[in-house]
Amino acid sequence: MKRHRNGEIWNFESQTPAAGAGVILGLDGGTTSTVCVCLPVAMPPAGPLPNPLPILSRAVAGCSNHNSVGETAARETLQEVMAQALSKACSSRAAVQAVCLAVSGVNHPMDQQRLLDWLRDIFPSHVKFYVENDAVAALASGTMGKLHGCVLIAGTGTIAYGFTEDGREARAAGAGPILGDWGSGYGIAAQALTAVMRAHDGRGPQTKLTKNILDILGLSSPDELIGWTYADPSWARIAALVPVVVSSAEDGDEVANRILYDSVQELADSVIAVVRRLRLCGKDGGDTFPLVMVGGVLEANKRWDIGKEVINCISKVYPGADPIRPKRDLTAAV
């Protein structure tokens, strides 16, 4: 059955765009994975986004953070995932009207400009492009498109990003592990590995982290961790150890608990810094604002819920924080 909707012709039974119908590509690129969805151009012209979104197709690829894998590999991933999404939607590059790229690793106007230039090279000239840090898309996913409030991402990396109603923006953290992102998955895992080495040398207290981390990596001595880390120091590989830190803490290990509590404070401090700089809580600090919480590190576990602890910390300073945990991926249903 074909119907006219906002001037577009659609085959609603197959969800396939009719020949010549325009599409939009939306990408959410992280260090672990990159998701691309293909949407019809015929979206409501204003107001909140429809939920669920009328998605035509969804494709998943690996890391697209140029800081982790280099610019060439990151672009190959972006290109591959866009091609897959278009092919699944039975569409083509010629039908693309706009591309919204929200990727981690876009930290500077230069990063943005390089990606915009690249997109202009591979798409026709009429296509509209939006390139943002993935935090901007994460905020929008919790507020159904409205850029207002603060988002905290804690995955492999971490960043806090906020917008006021009148468009001012601020960020905190997100500078990478060497520059102090201790609340990130990488930061937590690196502290745990450090604690294991300190215990092994006699520089720090014994910890259950030693056995638990060695077991999960199939190693027999902390000395072998040296070769393991040098073999491939990629951030996501190190950060993947966070669940071991959580289970060790849940098992009563003091060292693991200390690492998690310190990380909670780090994450809360990032949000507090953004909210303070933007005065999101108004002059008297009492106004409410959306606080979108995204990322694997903020997932609830049996007894340890890093996200909940972070909210508790922030609420003590800003009781107006209104936590929103969007479904991990608004587009997962397709």
Ligand X SMILES: Nc1ncnc2c1ncn2[C@@H]1O[C@H](COP(=O)(O)OP(=O)(O)OP(=O)(O)O)[C@@H](O)[C@H]1O
| Shortest Cβ 178–ligand X spacing (Å) | 15
| Shortest Cβ 37–ligand X spacing (Å) | 16
Is 240 a binding residue for ligand X by CB under 6 A? The answer is yes
Closer to ligand X by CB, 25 or 159: give it.
Answer: 159
Is 139 a binding residue for ligand X by CB under 6 A? The answer is no
For the segment 97-136, give every residue that binds ligand X (CB under 6 A).
Answer: 104
How far is it between the farthest Cα atoms of the chain? 73
Is 242 a binding residue for ligand X by CB under 6 A? The answer is yes
For the segment 47-76, give every residue that binds ligand X (CB under 6 A).
Answer: 65
How is residue 69 written in tokens?
């894998």
Closer to ligand X by CB, 65 or 91: give it.
Answer: 65
Closer to ligand X by CB, 242 or 274: give it.
Answer: 242
Is 185 a binding residue for ligand X by CB under 6 A? The answer is yes
Interaction pattern, residues 7-46, with ligand X; x per rule: CB under 6 A: -----------------------xxx--------------
| Shortest Cβ 302–ligand X spacing (Å) | 9
> In Å, what is the CA distance from 199 to each residue of 203, 210, 230?
6, 8, 20
Strand partners, 154: 158
| Shortest Cβ 221–ligand X spacing (Å) | 23
Taking CB under 6 A as the criterion, the residue among 17, 155, 162, 187 binding ligand X is: 155
- Residue located via tokens 């498109």: 145
Interaction pattern, residues 259-298, with ligand X; x per rule: CB under 6 A: ------------------------------------xxx-
Question: Omega before 54 cis (within 30°)?
Answer: no
Closer to ligand X by CB, 63 or 199: give it.
Answer: 63
Closer to ligand X by CB, 30 or 183: give it.
Answer: 30
Residue 177 near residue 239, CB atoms below 8 Å: no
Is 324 a binding residue for ligand X by CB under 6 A? The answer is no
Binding site for ligand X (CB under 6 A): 30-32, 65, 104, 153, 155-157, 185, 236, 239-240, 242-243, 246, 295-297, 299, 301
